[in-house]
Homo-oligomer: A and B are copies of this chain.
Amino acid sequence: MPRPRVVILGAGFGGLHAARALAREPVDVVVVDRRNHHLFQPLLYQVATAGLSGPDIAAPIRKVLRRQRNATVLLGDARAVDRAARKVLLADGEELAYDHLIVATGVTHDWFGHEEWAEHAPGLKTLEDAMRIRARVILAYESAEREEALERRRAWLTFVVVGAGPTGVELAGALAELARHTLARDFRRVDPRATKILLLEAAGEVLPAFPADLALKARRQLERLGVTVRTRARVTAIDAEGVAIDGERVAARTVIWSAGVRATSITASLGAPLDALGRVRVEPTLALPGEPRVYVIGDAALLESGGRAVPPLAPAAIQEGRHAARNVARALRGEAPLAFRYRDRGALATIGRAAAVADLGRFRCSGLMAWVLWLFVHIFFLIGFRNRLAVLFEWAWAWLTYQRVARVIPHAAERMKRR
C-alpha cells in the first residue's frame, strides 16, 4: 500500500519547517516551489542594497532536504487546488494528487489597487526583486553622474521608500549608508552624500507594529543616518518622474514599495473564506474550515492566538509549519487536531550600522545592543552552516570598511538606456 502523500506548496520558512517536521512520519512529502531555493527573506534588503550576494541568503531546496529520505522536491508553479479531486494543478498542465495539503505560498506585493505603480515602485519579496532594486539604485547614481541639469540630477539622487514597516526602515537605513559611506567618493560630478532618502509612512509613526517608545527611537536613529521620515503621509500618485504625497509632487527617479502585500492567487481556489487581501481565515487548528486535509500557514493564513492576530513574521510561519505537520501526523494516527498557539518571541528591526530596535515582550532595547542581538538572531536562523559563515564574513568586512561587496549589476549600460 502506498504511503499517504503530503504535498507542501512553498518552501519558505513555513513550508520547509513543515517538511522537516514530517521526516519521521510514515508519509511521502512533496515540496513544490517555483524557485529552486529557499530564501532568507529578513536579509533580502541587504541584497537589494548591495551588502550581500543573492546566494548568501539562499539555500537550494534540494540541498536542505537532501538527507530527508521521505521528501521529494518538485520545481513547479502551483496555480490552483482542486479540493474535490484532491489535486494541485501546476502551470505546465500537470496534476499532483495529495492526501494532505499544506499551503505555504506566502504573500506578494499589493499596490492598493494601483497596478500601474508596480513598474515605478518595485517591491521586495524575491531575489529577482532585490536584483532589480539593486540595479536601479546603482544606476541612479550613474545617471546622475552623466546628467548636466541640476534639477534632473537631484531627481536621480532622491530615493523614496513607501512604507515604514521593518523592511522599509531597513531599506532606508541601508540606502543612507550606501550614499554616505560606500559610494561617498566614487563619483566626480555628483556627491552621493547629498542623496535624499525619503521614508513615507501612512500611520503616525514608523514601525507601527512596535511599541511606541521603540518606534520613536527607530525614527531618531534613522534621522541620525540622514533619512527624512514623513509620517501620516499618503501616496496619491507614482510615475517615472516621482511621487505625489497628499497631492504634493516630489521628483524622484527611484521609488521602492514596502507598503502593501496580498496573498498569492492560489488561495482563491481553496473555496474558503478570504479577507480583502486574499488571506485565508483558517480554523484554530490551521486547517480550512470543514476541510481537515488542507492546512494554510504563514503569511497567507489569518488567525488569532491569545486574543491577538498572529503576525506575518518568520518565527510565526515556522511555528505554524511545525504545527500543521503535527496535525497531519495526528490525523494519520486517528487523533484529533490540536489548536495552534503562537509563542511570541518578539520582533527586531535594524537601522543600519550598529543600530536597531528589539521588542522581546518585557525586555526592550535599542541602539548597539539591539543590533548585536539582531545580528546573532539572524545569523543563527540562516539555514545552512556555510551561509552563516559567509554572511558573517561579508558583514564583518562591510562593517570594517563601509564597503558593499555586491555592487555588480548585469547589463548596466543597456538598462540605463531603457529607463
Contacts and interface: CB of A to CB of B under 8 A. Distances in A.
Interface string A218-257: 0000000000000000000000000000000000000000
A76 interface: yes
Given A53-B55, A55-B408, A386-B401, A62 B413 contact: no
Nearest to A188: B72
A88 to B, nearest CB: 14
B55 A138 contact: no
Chain A binding surface SS class: mixed
Contact of A62 (B37, B186, B411): B186
Interface core residue of A36, A77, A126 (most chain B CB under 10 Å): A36
Greatest chain B CB density within 10 A among A187, A386, A393 is at: A386
Contacts of A91: 413, 417
A336 interface: no
Given A36-B142, A91-B417, A142-B36, A63 B412 contact: no
Contact of A405 (B75, B126, B390): B390
A54 interface: yes
Given A58-B408, A63-B407, A138 B36 contact: yes
Interface string A392-419: 0110010001010111111111101100
Interface in A138-156: 138-139, 142, 146
B138 A408 contact: no
Contacts of A389: 393, 397
Interface string A113-150: 00000000000001110010000001100100010000
Given A186-B66, A393-B393, A35 B417 contact: no
A330 interface: no
A60 interface: yes
Given A127-B408, A390-B405, A408-B60, A414 B54 contact: no
A74 interface: yes
Given A60-B408, A62-B186, A407-B63, A34 B417 contact: no
Contacts of A186: 60, 62-63, 66
Q: Which 8 A/B pairs are nearest by Cβ-Cβ distance? A: A34-B413, A53-B53, A62-B186, A58-B408, A36-B412, A55-B406, A37-B408, A77-B413
13 contacts: A33-B413, A35-B411, A35-B412, A35-B413, A36-B412, A37-B408, A53-B54, A55-B405, A75-B139, A75-B142, A131-B410, A386-B397, A386-B405
Given A62-B187, A75-B139, 13 more contacts: A35-B411, A36-B409, A37-B408, A53-B53, A55-B407, A58-B408, A63-B186, A75-B413, A76-B146, A91-B417, A127-B410, A386-B405, A390-B390
